[in-house]
Structure 1
Amino acid sequence: MIPEPVEPDYEALPIGTGLGINMAAGALAGISEHTVMFPVDSIKTRMQVFSASPAAVYSSIGNAFTRISATEGARVLWRGVASVIAGAGPAHAVYFGTYELVKDLAGGNRPGHQFTATSVAGAAATITSDALMNPFDVIKQRMQVHGSKFRSGWTCAKTVYRGEGLGAFYVSYPTTLMMTVPFTAVQFTSYEYLKETFNPSGHYSPVTHVVAGGLAGGVAAAVTTPLDVAKTLLQTKGTSEDRQIRGARGVMDACRIIWGRNGVWGFFRGVTPRVVTFMPSNALCWLSYEFFKKVMGSYDRVPER
C-alpha cells in the first residue's frame, strides 16, 4: 500500500524557505497593509495635529470623513499614499526579514510560546525598518495635514530638506522607536500566542491569521497611542504657525506641549481611528505575509512520491 503524501508543517516553512522569501512576502504584505487603510490613517493624522483652524478640528472618524469630503473631496484622503508605497515595500522587507532571522537565532521557532524570543525579534525588526521608513513617514504626514500645499512626495521632500535640513526627516526617529519597539513587541508576542492558541496544529489557516493579527494590532495600537501623538507633532511641526510647536526638539518637548494643551486626553487624540486602522490593516498584513510566504515557499518544496 502506497502511503499518502505528508503535508509539510506550515509553521516550519520560514526556516526552510529562506530569508529572501520572507523579505519578499513582507514587502508585499506591507504595501497591501498601508494602501488599503490609508484614508483612515489620514484622518488619524489630522485628528492628532494641534491646529488653530476650526476647519481642522474633528470630533470623530465619521465627522472627519464627512467634512473633508464636503470641503476638499474624498481624494484628498489618499494624498501621500505614493510615499508610503515607496517606503513600505523595502521597509517591510527588512522588517519581516529581520524578524524571522532574529526569531530563529533567539530560539523563537522552538515548540511552545517563546515570548522573549519573539519580543526581541520584533524589537530588532522595528529598529532596522523604522530607520528606512521614517523619512517616508514624515513626507506622508506633511501631505496629510489640513491645508497641505504638497501634491507630490518628491516636491515635499525637496521643500522639507531645503527649509529644515536632513534632520527634519529623523527628528521623530527616537520617538518613533519609543513607540514602535513596544508596539512591535506587544504585537508580535500577542500574534504568535494567539496564532498558536487558535491553531495548535500549525497548518495554514487564513482565519487564524486574520483574527490573531487584528486583535494583536488593536491592542498594540491602543497602548502606544500617546507616543504616536508626540510623533505626529514632531513630524508635522514644520507646517505649524505656532512658535512653541515649531520649536519642539524632541519627545519631552512634544509631551509638554500636549499636556499643556489637552492634558491626559491629549495623548489619546486619534486613538479610535488608530485602532480602527491597525486592526484590519494588521490583519491584512499578517494574512498577506503568511499567504505570500506559503505560496512562494511552496516552490522550494520537493513533492513526496
Structure 2
Amino acid sequence: MVSYKLLCCISANGMAGSLATLLHDGVMNPAEVVKQRMQMYNSPYKTVLECIRTVHRTEGMGAFYRSYSTQLTMNIPFQAIHFITYEFMQEQFNPRRQYNPSTHILSGAVAGAVAAAATTPLDVCKTLLNTQENVVLSSVNVSGHLSGMANAFRTVYQLGGVAGYFKGVQARVIYQMPSTAISWSVYEFFKYALTKRELEKGTPC
C-alpha cells in the first residue's frame, strides 16, 4: 500500500517538475523546432542560422511555438509518470532508501521506459507540428500550416490509424531507458556523497 509520506513526496515532486517544465519548454521549444527541421529527410536548411531566419521570415515567430502546448501536454505527464514510477520502484526494491546503485539504475530505467511509452503519441504529434512536412500534409489534403494538438491528432490518425500514434515507440523507449537510468544514478550518487560529507563534518542536512 502506498504510504501517505510517499504520496506527499510524489505530489511535491510533481508540482516542482511541472513548474520547471513550463520554464524549460518555453526556452527550449524553438531549439527543438530547429533541430527537427534540420533532421528531416532532404532538409532544405544547411545551417542553424539559415533555418532560424527562413522559418522566421516565411512562417513568423509563432512557428517556433506552434507545438508549445503539445510539448507541455507531453512533458508534464512524462515527468509525472517518470517520478511516480521511480518512487514506486524504489518503494518496492529499496524501501529504506539507502544508496544502492543497482536499484537506482533499475528504477530509473523502468521509469524512463514507462514514461516514454505512455507519452509517445504526444511526441509523434509534436514532431508533426514542428516539422510541417509538406509531403505528409499534402497526402491528407492539409493546406497551409498545421496548428493545434487536436489537428495534429486527427492528421496522425488519418496517416496511420491508432498504430501511427506509436510510430518510433521502441526507439523512444530505448533512448530514454539509459538516459533516465544514468540521470537517477548520478543524482543519487551525488546526493549520497554530499550528505555523507556533511554528516562527517557534523553539519545537519
TM-score of the aligned structures, taking structure 2 as reference length:
0.82
Q: Distance in 2 between matches of 1:223 and 1:290?
A: 25
Q: CA deviation at 1:134?
A: 1.1
Answer whether contact 1:113 1:192 (CA < 8 A) is retained. no
Q: Against the structure 1 CA distance between its residues 169 and 218, is the aligned structure 2 distance closer, same or farther, given a 3 Å change threshold? A: same
Q: Against the structure 1 CA distance between its residues 146 and 122, is the aligned structure 2 distance closer, same or farther, given a 3 Å change threshold? A: same
Answer whether contact 1:122 1:185 (CA < 8 A) is retained. yes
Q: Distance in 2 between matches of 1:199 and 1:190?
A: 13
Q: Distance in 2 between matches of 1:273 and 1:172?
A: 21
Secondary structure, aligned partner of 2:41: coil
Q: CA deviation at 1:279?
A: 1.3
Query: Which amino acid is the alignment partner of residue 112 of structure 1?
Result: L
2:58 corresponds, among 151, 157, 163, to 163
Q: CA deviation at 1:174?
A: 0.4
Give runs of aligned pairs for residues 15-164 of structure 1, distance below 5 A.
111-114=5-8, 115-164=10-59
1:216 corresponds, among 90, 96, 111, to 111
Secondary structure, aligned partner of 1:112: helix
Find out whether 1:173 has 2:68 as its counterpart: yes
Q: Distance in 1 between matches of 2:63 and 2:103?
A: 40
Q: Deviations over 1:124-149 (max 9, x none)?
A: 23222211221111111112221124
Greater mean alpha carbon deviation, residues 212-221 or residues 141-150: 141-150
Q: CA deviation at 1:112?
A: 3.5
Quick one: percent identity of the two aligned structures? 43
Aligned to 2:159: 261
Answer whether contact 1:240 1:246 (CA < 8 A) is retained. no
Q: Distance in 2 between matches of 1:203 and 1:245?
A: 57
Q: Distance in 1 between matches of 2:59 and 2:200?
A: 55
Q: CA deviation at 1:287?
A: 2.0
Q: Distance in 2 between matches of 1:282 and 1:257?
A: 31
- Taking only aligned residues, the RMSD between alpha carbons, in angstroms, comes to 2.5
Aligned to 1:203: 98
Answer whether contact 1:245 1:257 (CA < 8 A) is retained. no
Query: Which amino acid is the alignment partner of residue 165 of structure 1?
Result: G
Q: Against the structure 1 CA distance between its residues 188 and 218, is the aligned structure 2 distance closer, same or farther, given a 3 Å change threshold? A: same
Structure 2: tracts of 5 or more residues without a match: none
Q: Distance in 2 between matches of 1:111 and 1:225?
A: 31
Q: Report which structure shows greater RCO (CA 8 Å, sep ≥6).
A: 1
Q: Against the structure 1 CA distance between its residues 245 and 303, is the aligned structure 2 distance closer, same or farther, given a 3 Å change threshold? A: farther
Q: Against the structure 1 CA distance between its residues 163 and 192, is the aligned structure 2 distance closer, same or farther, given a 3 Å change threshold? A: same
Aligned to 1:39: none
Answer whether contact 1:122 1:184 (CA < 8 A) is retained. yes
Find out whether 1:248 has 2:146 as its counterpart: yes
2:187 corresponds, among 289, 296, 299, to 289
Secondary structure, aligned partner of 2:112: helix
How many pairs are equivalent?
Answer: 195
Structure 1: tracts of 5 or more residues without a match: 1-109
Query: Which amino acid is the alignment partner of residue 134 of structure 2?
Result: S
Q: Against the structure 1 CA distance between its residues 142 and 245, is the aligned structure 2 distance closer, same or farther, given a 3 Å change threshold? A: farther
Query: Which amino acid is the alignment partner of residue 240 of structure 1?
Result: N
